[in-house]
């Protein structure tokens, strides 16, 4: 498998996988709930890795990259079943952000004076 898939190729790969192994897509509402669940799993890892909470024994086998991939998977499923071309949507969104925010963050003293 190619390790450098484009968004279009990812959408096609997920669609093919669903049709081969998954029988059919879960309905949109189910996938929306699953997406929320996966984001929550990522949030738990982030809270324990970068926040004040410590890991529970049941959290120690969780992997941030795997949770992000789960989020991408379900998001791609939603895009596929609702007819969203993620490449086009991303490009439009990037242009919108560039037009709207081209100077906004550069001129934000809160960002510029933040010491890491």
39 touches 71 (CB < 8 A): yes
For residue 56, the domain's CATH number is 1.10.287.1080
Per-residue pLDDT of 9-47, as tens digits, reads 999 999 999 999 999 999 999 999 999 999 999 999 999
**What range does the domain containing 17 cover?**
7-85
The answer to the question of residue 18 being in a domain is: yes
The answer to the question of residue 27 being in a domain is: yes
The answer to the question of residue 47 being in a domain is: yes
Count of the separate structural domains present in the chain: 1
The answer to the question of residue 53 being in a domain is: yes
The answer to the question of residue 16 being in a domain is: yes
Per-residue pLDDT of 55-85, as tens digits, reads 888 877 889 999 999 999 999 999 999 999 9
């Amino acid at each position: 498998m190619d390790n450098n898939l484009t968004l279009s190729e990812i959408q096609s790969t997920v669609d093919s996988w669903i049709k081969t192994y998954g029988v059919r897509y879960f309905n949109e509402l189910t996938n929306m709930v699953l997406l929320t669940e996966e984001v929550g799993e990522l949030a738990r890892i982030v809270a324990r890795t970068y926040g004040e909470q410590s890991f529970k024994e049941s959290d120690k086998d969780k992997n941030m990259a795997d949770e992000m991939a789960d989020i991408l998977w379900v998001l791609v499923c939603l895009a596929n079943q609702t007819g969203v071309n993620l490449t086009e949507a991303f490009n439009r969104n990037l242009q919108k952000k560039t037009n709207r925010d081209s100077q906004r963050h550069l001129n934000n003293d809160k960002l510029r004076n933040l010491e890491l």
